[in-house]
Amino acid sequence: MYSFADEWGPEKIVEVHDVKHHMRGVLVVDNTARGPGKGGIRMVPDVTAGEVFGLARAMTWKNALADIPFGGAKAGIRADPKSPNKEAIVRSFARHLANLIPAHYVAGPDMNMGEREMAWFADELGSRDACTGKPASMGGLPHELGSTGFGVVHAAKVAMEFTKRPLSGASVAIEGYGNVGTFTHKFMEEQGAKVVALSDSKGTAYLPSGLKYGMAMKTKQEKGTITAYLGAQVKPAAALFGLPADILIPGARPNVITEANAAGVKAKLVVEAANIPMTPAIERTLSDRGVVVIPDFVANAGGVISSYVETIHGTPEEMFRIVEKKITANTRLALERSKGKYVRDAALQIAQERVREAMQHRK
């Protein structure tokens, strides 16, 4: 028996095993009141049903808050992601879930699962609607378009307007220079903001006059680290969180803002591009100091909104328009309800209200 069931779900927990291909996997469909469960598949050797349930529940709230017609779900494959047998494992997992897709579950990429794996998944089931995150040649809207970073910037824009300050001219520090960080930088620059600090695994590049997107990308590609940016001060990666900036964007690792460094945060706005960059308790600590914190499932929903647009076979142009519209509306709603304090609590309340309303319309 699983001990984590409550009024919201989960509706289904499916564990599958294929002896021939050494595949073990689990799917948790948490709640489908608003639509089929949507959430990615991760491949790691030690994934558990409990872990997958926690991720599925997070997707229930994220999809509801994003106001897209999906419920919450998540899947995990217990396997070595570097296995030479990876394609057979992914295809086997798809076959074992065929009777649930896409009516109950729409898959997507997650840890160690990308475009290639989603192509295998869709091909095995003979349906492009089986999953999102597929290659563009199969009707996919690749994350290389920057949907998550685009949404983060629009969440920041709404939050700055809420605090009666323009995004144009604001100084920004961004943790992480992968897909999310690079596109956040690009779209921030397009909005007129000045990115003064960037970090990667090698450290932080800090330049009060501003780090330009084109030069930063060239530096990262040619030198392998953003710390080689010409003229920038090089600081430890963790130093980024205490640098002077109007906006701080944790965009890479979990639990980077802690009791040890929260007091050093100088930004008056924190926009969580990464998942769980701090605990709710730390968010409240910052909020009590007058810092507005836009939580992860509000700010970084651009990716899952893009996934929705992929399922309706929309174009990249439609995707950007819908991401902007929904992120803007939902960020504003959460801020207005919370009056800028404890935004997570308000956003979760909105998501729960939407799910509960949908549940009441079921037979």
Asked if the structure places residue 51 within a domain, the reply is yes
191-234: per-residue pLDDT in tens? Answer: 999 999 999 999 999 999 999 999 999 999 999 999 999 999 99
Specify if 360 maps to a domain: no
Domain for residue 359, yes or no?
A: no
Is 2 inside any structural domain? Answer: no
Average pLDDT over residues 329-333: 98
> If you write DSSP's letter for every residue of 68-104 in order, what string do you get?
-S-EEEEEEEES-TT-TTHHHHHHHHHHHTGGGTTTT
Q: How many helices (H) and strands (E) does the chain have?
A: 11, 13
Looking at the fold, whether 315 and 204 belong to one and the same domain comes out as: yes
The answer, yes or no, to whether residue 352 has pLDDT greater than 60, is yes
User: Is 86 known to be catalytic?
Assistant: no
Whether the pLDDT of residue 3 is over 80: the answer is no
In this structure, are 75 and 173 located in the same domain?
A: no
Note the pTM of the prediction, 2 decimals: 0.93
**Other CB atoms closer than 10 Å to residue 356's CB: what's the count?**
13
**Cβ atoms within 10 Å of 342's Cβ, excluding its own:** 18
Tens digits of per-residue pLDDT, 242-258?
A: 999 999 999 999 999 99
* Chain segment 77-88, per-residue pLDDT in tens: 999 999 999 999
Same domain, 53 and 199: no
What's the CATH number where 98 sits?
A: 3.40.50.10860
Say how far apart CA 130 and CA 361 lie, in whole Å: 26
Contacts of 324 (CB under 8 A, 6+ apart): 150, 151, 154
Q: Assess whether pLDDT exceeds 70 at residue 2.
A: no
Percentage of the chain beyond pLDDT 70 is: 99
Say which CATH number the domain at 320 has: 3.40.50.720
Order of strands, sheet of 269-271, starting from the edge strand that comes earlier in the sequence = 233-235, 203-206, 194-200, 171-175, 247-250, 269-271, 292-294
Q: Rounded mean pLDDT of 61-84? A: 97
- Does any domain span residue 4? no
Please indicate, yes or no, whether residues 166 and 287 belong to a single structural domain of this protein.
yes
101 vs 187, 327, 351, CA distance in Å?
35, 27, 24
User: How confident is the prediction for the chain on average, in pLDDT?
Assistant: 96
Q: Is the pLDDT of residue 142 over 90?
A: no
* CB half-sphere exposure, 362, CA atoms < 13 A: 10
**Would 249 be classed as within a structural domain?**
yes
**Which of 118, 137, 156 delimits the end of a domain?**
137
- For residue 348, CA distances in Å to 34, 297, 326, 353 come to 16, 9, 16, 9
pLDDT band of 144, cuts 50, 70, 90 = confident
Domain assignment of residue 99, given as a range: 12-59+70-137
Q: What's residue 52's pLDDT?
A: 95
Q: Tell me, yes or no, whether 6 lies in a domain.
A: no
93-117 pLDDT tens trace: 999 999 999 999 999 999 999 999 9
Is pLDDT of 1 > 60?
Answer: no
What integer is the mean pLDDT of 20-25? Answer: 93
From the list 38, 62, 74, 326, the catalytic residue is 74
Is 102 a domain residue?
A: yes
